[in-house]
Amino acid sequence: MKSFENAFIVVVEPNYIYQRIIVQYLQVAGFNRILTFSDPAKMIPALKFKPDVIITEYSFDKNTLSGKEMLVKIREASPNTSVYFHTMFNDVASAVNAIKSGATDYMLKTSTSLDELVRKIITLLKPGSNAAINARMLKKIVSYI
């Protein structure tokens, strides 16, 4: 995995406004290499660049890949990529299946879930970081948004 400063993150979110909010959270946390997609099928070619993290919705329009299909393609092309499902799809069976299939996490979208998601990514990419540093970064993010 690359260093924290050079981490490459892909965001796959069909809602443009929420996609921009995720990107802002990541940028304030210090991530600058972020690529966004609204359609998971259009994200597949970007896997050749081996992203460090993919943040994605689980449930998409019927005319594109499902979260499960997308995870299979991600694992085939980039097995070391951490995949975080950040979703409104509240289904325990899907969450369990996603984790068993190799997703790093399956989180429901709530008022505080972006804080938690960014904290988890920071911890993943900066293993030596401590909770105090992460707390300061999150306060900075919350005051920025």
* CATH number for the domain that contains residue 140: 3.40.50.2300
DSSP assigned state of 84 = E
* CA-only gyration radius of the chain, Å: 14
How is residue 129 written in tokens?
């970081």
Q: Whole-prediction pTM value?
A: 0.84
Q: How far is Cα 5 from Cα 113, in angstroms, rounded to an integer?
A: 23
Q: How far is Cα 101 from Cα 110, in angstroms, rounded to an integer?
A: 24
Q: How far is Cα 24 from Cα 18, in angstroms, rounded to an integer?
A: 10
Q: How far is Cα 72 from Cα 44, in angstroms, rounded to an integer?
A: 11
Structural domain boundaries enclosing 123: 4-144
Q: 92, 48, 103, 95: which is closest to 70 by C-alpha?
A: 103
Q: pLDDT in tens for each of the 145 residues of the chain?
A: 456 778 999 999 999 999 999 999 999 998 999 999 999 999 999 999 999 999 999 888 787 888 889 999 999 999 999 999 999 888 888 889 889 989 999 999 998 899 999 999 988 887 665 544 555 555 555 555 4
Specify the number of domains making up the chain. 1
